[in-house]
Structure 1
Amino acid sequence: MCTLTLAWQVFPDAPVVVAANRDERRDRPSEPPTRRGSDPWIVAPRDAEAGGTWIGYNEAGLFVGITNRWRAEARAERSRGRLVDDALQETDAEAAARLVERSVADHDYDGFNLVVADATGAYLFEWDGDLRKIRLHPGVHVVVNSGAALGGGGAVTDRFVTPEGDGAERAAEQMANARAVRAELTPEPGEDAASWLDRAGDVLADHEYGVCIHEDGYGTRSSSLIRLGDEPTFRFAPGPPCETAYRTADANADADESQL
């Protein structure tokens, strides 16, 4: 499971704020976030096994992040991380959304939930053999493998997929965790983006919420805290946040220069 929490158009000082845990096999190699590429440059970690990334932003202020999603047919040839990399080449959320639609038409992918967001637009894509595009309202949204607990728009909505067989109980547990995270991360009166991110980091590390995973050979491999606005920041913990400190990625250093 992965957990991606997006506070979109919640804070005047930062229209896009993200707190996310990545859960993966412990032996899957990855590299920490660095600035790479140009026109646009992006700041993102890298999946050293399949290429691409699972989370990042670019110089235009576009955020893209992905979680897995249950799908009956698995092991598609093209990595979902490549799709995130491709979307990060776009200039805004609208263009990134069109790119996702074209790419799913042209390639097959394993199931995913994918979020694209910038200061003016935010979308959730669900792909499990059928592609669904959901425009997000301002608010706090929590995406996990089994669906999403969406806030904003004067209401809360659960988008929930139930796998067949043994996965149903685990999927229900994931959604309960997502609802708990969303409730806990309701912004407090007068709270700014930096304070909210500090709280979000604590929630991602708190085993009470079930989103910091420790299993045999599998678990939470890293955690990301991202704020996009006048002064973008990417704080990254290269291990489970319950035992690993966040460090700030240098958006001015390229992959060869980064000391993260």
Structure 2
Amino acid sequence: MCTVTWVGSVGGFELFTNRDELRTRPPAHPPRLQHTPSGLRFLAPVDEQGGGTWIAANECGVALCLLNHYQAAPLPAGIQPRSRGLVVQDLIDASSLDEAFDALQAMDLSAVRGFRLIGLEPGGDPRLGAWDTRSLELLAGDAVRAPLISSGFDYPGVERARQRTFEELQSELGGVSPRMLEQFHASERPEPGPYAVSMTRDDAWTVSHTRVVVSADAVQMHYHSGRPSAGGPIVSEQLPLRP
């Protein structure tokens, strides 16, 4: 369960995500500096359970964010699933979105449950890879629109409610901006509960909010553990971009 949005900026972009998880899942570790096998530096939080991550940004300005696709077909019986978070970890070893999505197309996804992967880079169109456990669909440009929403509970109803909140705030605040998106991700409209962007259910809730800011010379990652509507401290990390 997740909600993802983004907006372009001068020389870069900003990417926002709420991560919704079961209350029984162990807390993730805040973002930290890591290195790919090729030596590329990147920032990403770490999922305690799966060992991977759902969002990452590297020193080339490439950012990736993955949402579970609960409506995808189940994996065939007898297959031991590979963590979806390892997909992001593998693909962030790329100097461009072209390189990352070429690697996605070449990747063996036969043991990976359904997901959608959004990719951004400065000056480029957003890219999306959608894996339904049978085939990989690739989209780009105007075909990739925010917000992206994932939910294992009443997906059509959750999508409608969060899309309505997005459109209301866009109208109230004069368009899509970082300020508007921060308010969107902290929103409890139409009321506190499973349909809100900052959501809560008996078995699940929003466990973190991450904001990635890529400018002309650096990538920043700001991480709030817990529901953004509840406030609390933010952990921030910064990584200079490669010249």
Which range, TM-score by smaller chain? Answer: 0.7 to 0.9
3-state SS in 1 of match to 2:228: coil
Counterparts in 2 of 1:185 and 1:60: CA distance versus 1, 3 Å: farther
**After the TM superposition, which of the residue ranges 206-215 and 84-93 deviates more from structure 2?**
206-215
Within 5 Å, give how 1:21-32 maps onto structure 2. 21-29=18-26, 30-32=28-30
Query: What RMSD, in angstroms, separates the aligned Cα atoms of the two structures?
Result: 2.7
Distance in structure 1 (CA, Å) of the matches to 2:2 and 2:54: 10
TM value normalised by structure 2: 0.82
Say which of 223, 240, 243 aligns to 1:236.
223
* Matched residue type, 1:244: G
Structure 2 residue 161 is matched with structure 1 residue 177: yes
Counterparts in 2 of 1:58 and 1:233: CA distance versus 1, 3 Å: same
Counterparts in 2 of 1:117 and 1:246: CA distance versus 1, 3 Å: farther
Structure 2 residue 198 is matched with structure 1 residue 198: no
Structure 2 residue 57 is matched with structure 1 residue 50: no
Say which of 103, 116, 131 aligns to 2:136.
131
Distance in structure 1 (CA, Å) of the matches to 2:24 and 2:144: 36
**Residue 31 of structure 2 aligns with which residue?**
33
**Residue deviations 1:123-172 (CA, integer Å, cap 9, x gap):** 111111221100123986211126xxxxxxxxxxxxxxxx9xxx6xx121
Task: Decide whether the 8 Å contact of 1:16 with 1:228 is kept in 2.
Answer: yes
Task: Decide whether the 8 Å contact of 1:143 with 1:178 is kept in 2.
Answer: no
Distance in structure 1 (CA, Å) of the matches to 2:11 and 2:20: 26
Counterparts in 2 of 1:207 and 1:93: CA distance versus 1, 3 Å: same
TM value normalised by structure 1: 0.77
Distance in structure 1 (CA, Å) of the matches to 2:32 and 2:180: 24
Task: Decide whether the 8 Å contact of 2:59 with 2:219 is kept in 1.
Answer: no
Distance in structure 1 (CA, Å) of the matches to 2:50 and 2:168: 34
Say which of 177, 201, 212 aligns to 1:226.
212
Structure 2 residue 118 is matched with structure 1 residue 115: yes
**Residue 238 of structure 2 aligns with which residue?**
251
Distance in structure 1 (CA, Å) of the matches to 2:110 and 2:65: 19
Runs of 4+ in 1 over 3 A off after TM superposition: 137-140, 184-189
Instruction: State the number of aligned residues.
Output: 224
**Residue 87 of structure 1 aligns with which residue?**
91
Distance in structure 2 (CA, Å) of the matches to 1:138 and 1:67: 17
* Matched residue type, 1:67: L
Counterparts in 2 of 1:71 and 1:56: CA distance versus 1, 3 Å: same
3-state SS in 2 of match to 1:5: strand
Distance in structure 2 (CA, Å) of the matches to 1:225 and 1:34: 14
**Residue 2 of structure 2 aligns with which residue?**
2
Distance in structure 2 (CA, Å) of the matches to 1:26 and 1:59: 33
* Matched residue type, 2:13: V
